[in-house]
Amino acid sequence: MNRHLFMLLGVFLVLGGCSLTPVYKQPDAPVPPTWPTGPAYSDNQPTDGTADAPDLAWRDFFTDERLQEVIATALDNNRDLRLAALNVQRARGIYGIQRAALFPALDATASGSKKRVPADISSSGERYTAEQYDVNLGVFAWEIDFFGRLGSLRDQALEAFLATDEARRSTQILIISAVGETYLTLAADREALKLARTTFEAQKATYDLVKRRYDVGLATELDLNFAQTQVDIARRDMAIYTQRIAQDENALNFLVGRSFPVSGANLPEDLTGIKPLKAIDPGISSEVLLERPDIVRAEHLLKAANANIGAARAALFPRVSLTSTVGTASAELSGLFEAGSGTWLFAPQIVMPIFDARLWSALDVTKAEQEIALVQYEQTIQSAFREVADTLAVQGTVDDQLAAQQSLVRATAETYRLSEARYLKGIDSYLGVLVAQRSLFAAQQGLVALNLRKRANQVRLYAALGGGTH
């Protein structure tokens, strides 16, 4: 009998596994196959020294050793990344639970009972004490997956686990790029503070000169007030950039996950003190976006929603479960393992849903969720395409902006020199000097901002193309 029982179990295992999950087909990407072209974009042709972002490790992209140290510390301590890793562990455990449901669980049970039966309900008309002891080994209420309900739930859990792992990779990219941008911003603000301090010292010297001229009657009170305003503006700018530097340091410490020495020798005084970033090649085809972790995650969620449809469909069909045990039983504890005390049980059960509106509603819900996941997948691709296109537009124009800004700085510096000389000779009023000073400081600030924008855009492009996962 035991041999026949195990043969029957084998038949159930072979027959089980029919799936009602719709056949998955990867949706077409709702974006152009190539990157945008036009006056704002470079030709995007590979050049010597460039690398593909997805294949470029972050240590190779960020070549500055001090910045590498900060990023490495962030990857070790950032709480968002820790949380993402824990979510992966949880999703892996859930997948293990759903996968294990496909296989029978073997359990051992032992029980004993002793009860007194009164004479008026005894079959012999006499009271007696009944005892029973048994030990069994078997499978209890194992659902045989004829229509793939459990298999679909397993597939759903697997895709959810894979999506969670991709979310962890996305978090890593986000942290790396955020640390890189914050580090660059901090260096730029330190450079701007140095510029504001230099400007303040120059304005203070100019004010002293005007004050001496005013004292001897060579300058008007209006000139003196103009000079004073420039000193006050420069002093205000120094306070503003001192505040920004403190906020940048706070942001960097938050990303790193602990207090980090982000001042002094650990950080250069300006952007030029940071080693250049590795040049990257976006390629010609936009299909590279399909390798981005957030897009891969969205596709796994789409597959998970697809598997849920299979589980909801299978719930409309009969559900077969099996309880089967072998063991021994006796009226006395000492006789449990004597000859002739063996027992067995074979108890299949089938449940056929006849009318349950909830099952049909659940199927409608899974179909709607699948459509939602499809739209979200397409939105993720479109958002990624726009993100890369925007960074390429900046990359294609920022060098021209920098060249124009550098020329503007040189021109305004010369204008300021000439205006000051004409004022000292009494040819022009101090208003011309004031305008030239303001223009020069604004042009210098703009140059710092453009240098930051160029480097920060390189970091954004690296992240947008899926770099930074290893």
User: Measured between alpha carbons, how far is 266 from 187 in angstroms, rounded to an integer?
Assistant: 11
**Is 466 within 8 Å of 385 (Cβ atoms)?**
no
CB count within 10 Å of CB 41 equals: 15
Residue 124, Cβ density class (10 Å: 0-12 exposed, 13-18 middle, ≥19 buried):
exposed
CB count within 10 Å of CB 393 equals: 17
What's the angle, vertex CA 134, arms to CA 131 and CA 140, rounded to 5? Answer: 135
Tens-digit pLDDT profile for residues 246-292 = 999 889 888 887 766 555 556 778 888 899 998 888 888 888 888 89
User: Measured between alpha carbons, how far is 254 from 77 in angstroms, rounded to an integer?
Assistant: 10
User: Measured between alpha carbons, how far is 372 from 366 in angstroms, rounded to an integer?
Assistant: 10
Residue with tokens 């000492």: 334
What's the angle, vertex CA 147, arms to CA 141 and CA 152, rounded to 5? Answer: 90
CB count within 10 Å of CB 373 equals: 20
> Tens place of pLDDT for every residue, the chain, 470 residues?
455 445 545 554 554 556 788 888 888 888 888 888 888 887 655 555 577 777 888 999 999 988 998 999 999 888 888 888 888 988 889 888 888 888 888 888 888 888 887 877 777 777 878 778 888 888 887 888 778 888 888 888 999 999 999 999 999 999 999 999 999 999 999 999 999 998 898 888 888 888 888 888 887 888 888 888 888 988 999 999 999 999 998 898 888 877 665 555 567 788 888 999 988 888 888 888 888 999 999 999 999 999 989 888 888 888 888 888 887 887 776 666 777 777 888 878 888 888 878 888 888 899 999 999 999 999 999 999 999 999 999 999 999 999 999 999 999 999 988 888 887 787 877 778 788 888 888 999 999 999 999 999 999 999 998 887 77
Q: For the chain, what is the total number of helices (H) and then of strands (E)?
A: 9, 6
> Which domains, ranges and CATH numbers included, belong to the chain?
19-110+131-464 (1.20.1600.10)
Q: Quick one: DSSP state of residue 115? A: E
**Is 257 within 8 Å of 77 (Cβ atoms)?**
yes
User: Measured between alpha carbons, how far is 201 from 71 in angstroms, rounded to an integer?
Assistant: 36
pTM: 0.84
